Amino acid sequence: MFNFNYYTPTKVVFGKETEKQVGRLIKEFGGSRVLIHYGGKSAVRSGLINQVKEALDNEQIPHVELGGVVPNPHLGKVREGIALAKAAGVDFILAVGGGSVIDSAKAIAYALADPERDVWELFQHTRKAKGCLPVASVLTIAAAGSEMSNSCVITNEETGEKRSYNDDIARPKFAIMNPELTMTLPDYQTQAGATDIMMHTMERYFTQGGNMELTDELAEGLLRTVMKYAEILHADPANYEARAEVMWASSLAHNGLTGCGNNGGDFASHMLEHEMGGMFDVTHGAGLAAVWPSWARYVYREDLPRFVRYAVKVMGVNPAGKTEEDVALEGIHKMEEFYHRIGMPVNMRELGIAPTDEQIREMAESCVRASADGHIGSAKVLYLEDMIAIYKMAR
């Protein structure tokens, strides 16, 4: 195992009706003027935004609001939020929504702490953040784990670039998690979220070297739990226990817990999907499901013991009388069967996109530019031609 730092400062308030505590919590963390940031009209129609505003009013906390965040959140909306927050003298950003809203809130918070610089420079990795205003969330989608993570992903809609920036200073101050707030989600969004949760865990699992038995067991238990309850929610979307299990898994999958002792993770599938999201605006979790099987078949020989362990301990493959390679491939196949059971795609065709060879090369070249050293991955280090090959396999 490798040395590691584990830093999770976010206060979690979990359970029914916890959103009513938002005003008290913001005051606890020093907020005096708040930007309420949210996505579509559903947060308004459901009455949640009014509940949040009432909770702030009860604590006499002034607030402004900005909705309209879309999946694969746009830089343009971030800039709109920056201007609004500056004009209103905001000192605290409250995200009411899922990962896209929280990521947009983090980007706004970075910009307000360094108002003379363009926030997109952070996502281009041409500089580091000097500071970040406090951010918190009322979570409505279990998926990205941004409610406890140090990461955010923003899409520059003008250039089609989807880029991430990670820094512990952006970890939210608190996260309010009421599983009931996720019950109105369409099944496709629920299952895409479950896929993203699993992928955050798997990206840290399929690595070269630096493995810790306890971390592996935690990761495998999380994966089995999400698979179990994703299928339950596919049939019974109002099941509170299933919603609660998946919501808590969302946070644990991306707050660093399942990466303790390894080399930091692979994250090649995420980076490949970011380019698909930037070019085709696909749902993130579904895009991950569409690219992962091809990535896995391309790299498994380089990381065979991990794929064998995953097949046996997560996917329930019986290894008796089989070669290690056969066990690994059966585990990948069983993963595809699971994706289909919850309505997720296993290739780009099923995702609904058909990139040309030219578009594939463009995505791969953009992925290389987004990487720090011209390559990505840990299970197998991938260069430009590897990325092109995986995209073509996934087509």
Residue-wise pLDDT tens digits, 127-150: 999 999 999 999 999 999 999 999
Residue 362: CB partners within 8 Å, gap ≥ 6?
A: 279
108: its two tokens: 């706004």
Q: If you average pLDDT over residues 65-84, what whole number do you get? A: 97
Spatial distance between the Cα atoms of 118 and 105, rounded to a whole number of angstroms: 15
Spatial distance between the Cα atoms of 390 and 239, rounded to a whole number of angstroms: 37
DSSP designation for 237: T
Residues of the chain with pLDDT > 70, as a percent, come to 100
What is the pLDDT, as a whole number, of residue 78? Answer: 98
Tell me phi and psi for residue 270, to 5 degrees.
-65, -45
Spatial distance between the Cα atoms of 84 and 66, rounded to a whole number of angstroms: 8
Please provide the average confidence, as pLDDT, over all residues in the chain: 96
Judged against a pLDDT cut of 90, whether residue 40 lies above it is answered with no
182: its two tokens: 């996720």
What is the pLDDT, as a whole number, of residue 41? Answer: 82
Candidates 293, 290, 295, 333; CA nearest to 311 is: 333
Please list the residues that pair with 136 across neighbouring strands: 94
Question: Looking at the domain covering 185-394, what would its CATH class be?
Answer: mainly alpha
Spatial distance between the Cα atoms of 262 and 333, rounded to a whole number of angstroms: 26
Distance (Å) of CA 324 to CA 201, 212, 300, 328: 22, 21, 11, 6
pLDDT digits (tens, 9 = 90+) for 99-132: 999 999 999 999 999 999 999 999 999 999 999 9
Contact 129, 112 (CB under 8 A): no
Spatial distance between the Cα atoms of 19 and 23, rounded to a whole number of angstroms: 9
CATH number of 11-181: 3.40.50.1970
What is the pLDDT, as a whole number, of residue 42? Answer: 86
What is the pLDDT, as a whole number, of residue 372? Answer: 83
- The sheet carrying 63-66 orders its strands as 11-14, 174-177, 135-139, 92-97, 34-38, 63-66
CATH 1.20.1090.10 in the chain is located at 185-394
What is the pLDDT, as a whole number, of residue 55? Answer: 97
CATH 3.40.50.1970 in the chain is located at 11-181
Packing angle of the helix pair 187-205, 268-280 (nearest 10 deg): 140
203: its two tokens: 């990206």
